[in-house]
C-alpha cells in the first residue's frame, strides 16, 4: 500500500555539518507516528523539512504519491502544531482557528460554523471570543490543535507540543491527543524527546540519533527488542554488559563478558563471531536469589544501595569484574525489600528471551 507521506533517503547539511543522513520514513493513513530522539538528533529538522520550512540537499519528499519539492509551505496539504503553539496574540481564539479558512477565502458564515464545530471537538466551546493571553497552557494547546485541524488535513505535524506543560496536564493532554487522533482518523506525525510520551501515544516510533534512523517499530517491539545500545539506553532503563560474541545457536548468542558467559536473544541478523556486542537486561526482568543457591548461568553481585522509590524499589549492585558498572534491579515495593540489605551477595538471573543481544553502532 502506498504510504501517505514518504521521506525517501532525505539528507540535509548546514554548511559542512551533515544533520540528516539517508532518512527514510513512511507514514501510513491514520497512523500515529512518533519521531523520537534526543536534542540535536535532527528530529526537529525532519519536521521542518516536512512542513516546508527547510530545504533538502538530497532525497525526495512524497505526499500521497506527489513530490512536495516544488510545493511551497502554504500549499502543503497538512498543518503544524508548533512547539510554543505560535498563536497570534492579536487575534481572538476564533480568529486564530479560522485563519486557515479565512486566507482560503471561505465565506464568513462558513468560517463561523466550522470554528464553532472545531471548538467543540477540542472541548473549548465557550472560548472563541477570548485572546490567547487569557488562556491556560492546556487551553492554548487545544487552540493550536483546533487551528491545525480545521482545514481537515489528512495529516498534522506536532512539534514537541506537550513539552511546555506540567506533568499532570501532560498526561491529560496525552489521552486527549490519542483520542482526538482516533476520532479524526488522520495521521499524526509527532516529534518528541520524551520516550515515555512516545511509548504511551504512538502506533509506531522512529528513533533518530545523530541524523540517522537508529531503529523503528511498534513501541513494545522497540522496548522489548532494542537492536542497538543507544535504543536500549534511550527507551527505558537497561543494564548493559559489554562482551564478545563467542557462539551462536539460532537467534541465541553466547557472549563472553568480564563477568562470565551470558546468553542473549538477537533481533535480526547476528554479527560474526568474535565481534564486540552488548547484552541488555531490563532492571525489572532480573530475579534475585540468595547467593548460596548455586545457579550456573547467574551473576553474583553485592548489594551497594537500596532505594525506595514509591511503587518500586531500586536495588543497585556491583560486581568485582565490572568496576564501571552499577547493575540495577527493580522490584515492586511489596514489603519484600526487607529481605535485602547492603553488602549482601545475591545471584542475578533472567529468562533468556529477556536478554537482548545488541550490536554497537549497527
Binding site for another protein (CB under 8 A): 48, 51-54, 72-76, 79-80, 82, 84, 86, 88, 90, 99-100, 102-104, 147-148, 151
Least gap, CB of 92 to another protein (angstroms):
9
Asked if 223 and 235 touch (Cβ cutoff 8 Å), the reply is: yes
Between 94 and 313, CB nearer to another protein: 94
| DSSP label at residue 344 | -
Cell numbers found for residue 134: 487569557
Question: In the complex with another protein, which residue's Cβ is closer, 48 or 353?
Answer: 48
For another protein, the closer of residues 163 and 318 by Cβ is: 163
Residue from 115, 111, 147 nearest 128 by CA:
115
Angle at 40 (CA atoms; ends 37, 43), nearest 5 degrees: 45
Distance CA 60, CA 76 (A): 15
Closer residue to another protein, CB minimum distance, 73 or 309:
73
Nearer to another protein, 71 or 240 (CB): 71
The least CB distance from residue 144 to another protein, in Å, is 9
- To another protein, the closest distance from the beta carbon of 193 in angstroms equals 19
DSSP string across 113-162: HHHHHHHHHTT-TT-TTS-GGGS-HHHHHHHHHHHHHTT--SEEEEESTT
How far apart are CB 75 and another protein at their closest, in Å? 8
Cα–Cα distance, 93 to 115 (Å, whole number) = 9
Query: Residue for cell digits 508548533?
Result: 82
For another protein, the closer CB: 52 or 138: 52
Nearest distance, CB of residue 66 and another protein, angstroms: 17
CB of 149 to another protein, least distance (A): 11
Strands 345-349, 299-308: pairing is antiparallel
Amino acid at each position: 500500500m502506498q504510504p501517505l507521506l514518504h521521506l525517501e533517503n532525505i539528507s540535509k547539511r548546514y554548511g559542512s555539518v551533515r544533520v540528516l543522513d539517508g532518512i527514510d520514513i513512511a507514514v501510513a493513513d491514520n497512523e500515529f507516528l512518533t519521531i523520537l530522539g534526543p536534542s540535536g538528533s535532527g528530529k526537529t529538522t525532519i519536521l521542518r523539512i516536512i512542513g516546508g520550512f527547510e530545504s533538502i540537499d538530497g532525497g525526495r519528499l512524497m505526499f500521497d504519491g506527489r513530490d512536495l519539492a516544488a510545493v511551497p509551505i502554504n500549499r502543503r496539504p497538512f498543518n503544524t502544531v508548533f512547539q510554543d503553539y505560535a498563536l497570534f496574540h492579536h487575534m481572538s481564539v476564533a480568529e486564530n482557528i479560522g485563519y486557515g479558512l479565512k486566507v482560503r477565502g471561505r465565506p464568513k458564515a462558513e468560517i463561523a460554523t466550522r470554528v464553532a464545530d472545531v471548538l467543540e471537538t477540542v472541548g473549548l466551546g465557550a472560548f472563541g471570543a477570548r485572546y490567547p493571553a487569557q488562556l491556560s497552557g492546556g487551553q492554548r494547546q487545544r487552540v493550536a490543535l483546533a487551528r491545525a485541524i480545521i482545514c481537515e488535513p489528512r495529516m498534522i505535524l506536532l512539534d514537541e507540543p506537550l513539552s511546555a506543560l506540567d506533568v499532570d496536564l501532560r498526561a491529560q493532554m496525552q489521552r486527549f491527543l490519542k483520542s482526538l487522533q482516533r476520532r479524526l482518523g488522520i495521521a499524526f506525525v509527532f516529534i518528541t524527546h520524551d520516550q515515555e510520551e512516545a511509548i504511551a501515544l504512538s502506533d509506531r516510533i522512529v528513533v533518530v540519533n545523530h541524523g540517522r534512523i537508529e531503529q523503528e517499530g511498534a513501541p513494545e517491539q522497540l522496548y522489548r527488542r532494542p537492536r542497538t545500545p543507544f535504543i536500549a539506553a534511550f527507551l527505558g532503563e537497561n543494564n548493559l554488559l559489554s562482551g564478545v560474541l563467542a557462539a551462536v545457536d539460532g537467534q541465541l548468542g553466547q557472549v563472553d563478558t568480564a563477568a562470565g558467559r551470558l546468553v542473549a536473544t538477537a533481533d535480526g541478523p547476528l554479527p560474526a563471531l568474535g565481534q564486540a556486542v552488548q547484552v541488555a537486561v531490563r532492571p525489572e526482568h532480573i530475579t534475585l536469589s540468595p547467593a548460596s543457591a548455586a545457579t550456573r548461568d547467574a551473576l553474583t553481585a553485592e548489594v551497594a544501595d537500596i532505594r525506595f522509590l514509591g511503587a518500586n524499589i531500586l536495588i543497585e549492585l556491583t560486581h568485582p569484574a565490572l568496576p564501571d558498572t552499577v547493575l540495577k534491579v527493580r522490584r515492586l515495593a511489596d514489603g519484600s525489600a526487607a529481605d535485602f540489605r547492603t553488602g549482601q551477595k545475591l545471584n542475578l538471573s533472567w529468562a533468556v528471551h529477556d536478554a537482548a543481544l545488541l550490536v554497537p553502532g549497527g
